Amino acid sequence: MGKRVGMEVAIASAEAAALCKFDVAAVYPITPQSHVAEHLSDIVHEGRVDASFITVESEHSALSAAIGAAGTGARVVTATSSQGLLYMSEVLPIASAMRLPIVMIIANRAVSGPINIWNDHSDIMPMRDTGWISFFADNGQEVVDMTIQAFKVGEDRRVMLPVNVNMDGFQLTHMVEPIIMPEQEEVDRFLPAYVPYAALHPDNIVSMGTLGMPEIYAEAQKSKDVALVNSIKVVKEVWKDWEKQFGRKYEPIQSYRTEDADIALLTMGSMGETAEIAVDELREQGVKVGLLKIKLWRPFPFDELKKAIKGIKVLVVTDRAISFGGPGGPVFSEIRSALYDQPKRPKVVNYIIGLGGRDVTVEGFMDMVRRAAKGKLSERYEIYGVRG
């Protein structure tokens, strides 16, 4: 059942892609993703997978090359971060519109300015509506598992969409920690060979990515939306398969000690486990608190959220990005909107935390819960710990 190794998480993500025997990697390096790019390049150079590594001059080209390669029916991996992801932005919706199951490993990082290389989610949030499936990992093990799962979900004939796996920059990418690395034979059993729906080939001429006139554009967009909405069934199915084979459970929203909770924290990404410790400590003090961790951001797990919040009176949503001039962080807006038509819904409080690598401690989470207990903060949303 896999081998327990100590490994830097960025490198482990590249190893996970190698276990999936990608055909093409098209990647441009950027901090804190660079070790992913370097290691994918090493893997190809050493001949450990029968693949091409396309060196490109930018992220825009990286994703464009990935699309071209995926169009020929190749299994493609790419990776980026921050400004790199923003630079890819005009190509992101093309990948999903062309229904190409590219897997992108994202080392989440703040966006400029001021220039900041540290972690938050302000790179992925503006890319929310580009039609990609989005996973968020808590730890190195989840990064590895989700990278492998991403290929299976994306390539499923019922889905055929690109998938991004989000891992927090530095907090995860630069961490050496224990990871159970699946064996090649196990991954081969889990992940079938990719059979593309259509492929560019000189002997079989097809057009991809054509013009969509007003008569068809709305239908094309609806088709993408339906595919993304319906993909949640496949995500859950793949996660069940994973659990059966590897024994590690994945759910769109993972609940922690929420059974009798009055108040619950909600996190996405690597701060989830730190928040678990805060929940444990508050429980010892008699506070009925739990934690919800979102693992599947797109498609948004509406039904799972409704189930998960049962009995909870105050939901403390943490965001790691700002929607400037908006109602609160992007996760908060979605959660509140998703609960609007519920007859019984919790009060929803929003803290924006960990911007640009600002550390959040166990005590910080405990303080947030205590201050949110009444279900209201003095502001519509609070940037936690901010000065001025």
Partner 1 sequence: MLEIRWHGRGGQGAVTSVELLSLAAIEEEKYAQGFPSFGPERRGAPVTAFNRVDDKQIKIRSGIYHPDVVVVLDESLVALVDVAEGLKPTGILLVNTTKTLAELKKNIKFSGKIATCDATGIAWKELGVPITNTTMLGALLKVTGVVKIDSLDNPVKERFGRIAQKNMSAAKSAFDQVRIIS
Among 33, 267, 274, 318, which residue sits at the site for partner 1 (rule: CB under 8 A)? 274
**Alpha helix positions (H), the chain:** 9-19, 34-45, 59-71, 82-87, 92-97, 140-155, 184-190, 214-246, 272-284, 302-308, 330-339, 362-372
Round to whole Å and give the CA distance between 120 and 159.
29
Contact positions with partner 1 (CB under 8 A) in 356-375: 357, 359-362, 364
Among 270, 318, 323, 350, which residue sits at the site for partner 1 (rule: CB under 8 A)? 270
Among 135, 136, 170, 190, which residue sits at the site for partner 1 (rule: CB under 8 A)? 170
Biggest alpha carbon–alpha carbon distance for the chain? 70
Q: Which is nearer to partner 1, 138 or 304 (CB)?
A: 138
Count residues binding partner 1 (CB under 8 A).
28
Least distance from partner 1 to the Cβ atom of residue 169, Å: 8
Tell me, what amino acid is at 293?
K
Round to whole Å and give the CA distance between 112 and 333.
23
85 near partner 1, judged by CB under 8 A: no
Round to whole Å and give the CA distance between 369 and 150.
33
Starting at the edge strand found earlier in the chain, the sheet holding 76-80 runs 52-55, 24-27, 76-80, 103-108, 163-168, 133-136, 296-298
Round to whole Å and give the CA distance between 33 and 35.
6
176 near partner 1, judged by CB under 8 A: yes
Least distance from partner 1 to the Cβ atom of residue 333, Å: 26
| Binding characters for partner 1, 281-310, by CB under 8 A (x = yes) | ------------------------------
Round to whole Å and give the CA distance between 164 and 77.
10
326 near partner 1, judged by CB under 8 A: no
Contact positions with partner 1 (CB under 8 A) in 28-47: 31-32
Round to whole Å and give the CA distance between 14 and 186.
17
Does residue 32 have a cis peptide bond before it, meaning omega lies within 30 degrees of 0? yes
**Length, in residues, of the chain:** 388
Q: Which is nearer to partner 1, 13 or 119 (CB)?
A: 119
177 near partner 1, judged by CB under 8 A: yes
The SS3 assignment for 299 reads coil
- Strand 3-8, strand 176-181: pairing: antiparallel
15 near partner 1, judged by CB under 8 A: no
Least distance from partner 1 to the Cβ atom of residue 316, Å: 18
Cβ proximity of 229 and 299 under 8 Å: yes
Q: Which stretch binds partner 1 (CB under 8 A): 199-207, 297-305, 327-335, 353-361?
A: 353-361
Least distance from partner 1 to the Cβ atom of residue 229, Å: 32
Q: Which stretch binds partner 1 (CB under 8 A): 210-218, 301-309, 355-363, 372-380?
A: 355-363
14 near partner 1, judged by CB under 8 A: no
Angle 35-318-118 (CA atoms, 0-180°, nearest 5)? 25
271 near partner 1, judged by CB under 8 A: yes
256 near partner 1, judged by CB under 8 A: no
184 near partner 1, judged by CB under 8 A: no
Is residue 245 packed enough to be buried (19+ CB in 10 Å), middle (13-18) or exposed (0-12)?
middle
Round to whole Å and give the CA distance between 273 and 291.
10
Q: Which stretch binds partner 1 (CB under 8 A): 113-121, 154-162, 187-195, 300-308?
A: 113-121
Q: Which is nearer to partner 1, 226 or 386 (CB)?
A: 386
Q: How far is CA 281 from the centre of its chain?
A: 28
Q: Which is nearer to partner 1, 223 or 361 (CB)?
A: 361
102 near partner 1, judged by CB under 8 A: no
6 near partner 1, judged by CB under 8 A: yes
277 near partner 1, judged by CB under 8 A: yes
Among 123, 276, 304, 319, which residue sits at the site for partner 1 (rule: CB under 8 A)? 276
387 near partner 1, judged by CB under 8 A: no
Which residues of this protein are in contact with partner 1, per CB under 8 A? 4-6, 8, 31-32, 117-119, 170-171, 174-178, 270-271, 273-274, 276-277, 357, 359-362, 364
